[in-house]
């Protein structure tokens, strides 16, 4: 159905007048201070913890608001020289990364060929990862090439770091990877 501009304005003004806020706006009320006050109340009494968005290498600053140890809000940190309080849509939804009924909180393992997921405790999962890394490394380790040149590496394992890894983590991670003979080391920030 085609709607003219006049009909559209009539419809929206009637719809707006159907709510208290809409009626106030229709009467010309400036709600800007009220909206700002509502924003304040939303985080009243909350502790603010500076953090960094985990999603990409831009590294936007966040403020995480907590009440009694529970996260109640996450927003851009205006003091961050990277994003000045702004967040992209993904970063703006980061609250749902933590507070989300669909978030997985247990390790799920599906064996090759299986149709069902099995719940594993974290210890068992970590042991299995370590076991597979060791096995793969041992099976594919190359000490020397055909010309006798020393290589001491495995081409079978690739390491991909995340943007949130800090200097200290990367330092330790490099030592572990080089120690295992892994040479394919990359970071999400460069992809
Ligand atoms: S808010 Fe967006 S741009 Fe900033 S770090 Fe997160 S994902 Fe990257």
Between 8 and 55, the more confident residue is: 55
Pocket test for ligand 1, best of 59, 60, 96 (most atoms within 8 A of CB): 60
Mean pLDDT within 73-96: 95
Alpha-carbon gap, residue 182 to 185, rounded angstroms? 7
From residue 177, alpha-carbon distances to 141, 165, 183, 185 in Å are 13, 15, 7, 8
User: Does 75 share its domain with 93?
Assistant: yes
Does 11 reside within a domain? no
User: Does 95 share its domain with 113?
Assistant: no
Alpha-carbon gap, residue 32 to 135, rounded angstroms? 63
Asked whether the predicted pLDDT for residue 9 surpasses 60, the reply is no
Does 29 reside within a domain? no
What's the token pair of residue 32?
A: 């800007």
User: Looking at ligand 1, which residue's alpha carbon is closest to its atom 1?
Assistant: 91
Does 142 reside within a domain? yes
pLDDT band for 57, please (50, 70, 90 cuts).
confident
Residues 113-139 have pLDDT tens digits of 999 999 999 999 999 999 999 999 999
Question: How far does the centroid of ligand 1 lie from the alpha carbon of residue 60, in Å?
Answer: 5
User: Does 122 share its domain with 62?
Assistant: no
Does 171 reside within a domain? yes
Q: Is the CB of 97 under 6 A from ligand 1?
A: no
pLDDT band for 189, please (50, 70, 90 cuts).
confident
């Amino acid at each position: 159905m085609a709607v003219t501009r006049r009909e559209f304005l009539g419809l929206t003004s009637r719809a707006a007048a159907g709510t208290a806020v809409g009626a106030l706006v229709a009467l010309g009320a400036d709600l800007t201070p009220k909206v700002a006050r509502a924003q304040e109340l939303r985080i009243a009494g909350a502790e603010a913890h500076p953090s960094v968005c985990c999603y990409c290498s831009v590294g936007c600053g966040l403020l995480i608001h907590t009440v009694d140890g529970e996260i109640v809000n996450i927003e851009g940190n205006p003091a961050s020289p990277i994003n000045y309080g702004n967040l992209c849509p993904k970063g703006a939804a980061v609250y749902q990364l933590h507070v989300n009924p669909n978030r997985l909180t247990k390790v799920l393992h599906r064996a090759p060929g299986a149709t069902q997921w099995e719940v594993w405790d974290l210890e068992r999962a970590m042991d299995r990862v370590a076991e597979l890394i060791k096995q793969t490394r041992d099976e594919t380790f190359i000490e020397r090439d055909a010309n006798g040149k020393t290589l001491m590496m495995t081409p079978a394992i690739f390491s991909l770091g995340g943007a949130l890894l800090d200097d200290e983590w990367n330092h330790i991670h490099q030592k572990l990877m080089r120690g295992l003979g892994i040479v394919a080391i990359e970071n999400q920030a460069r992809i």
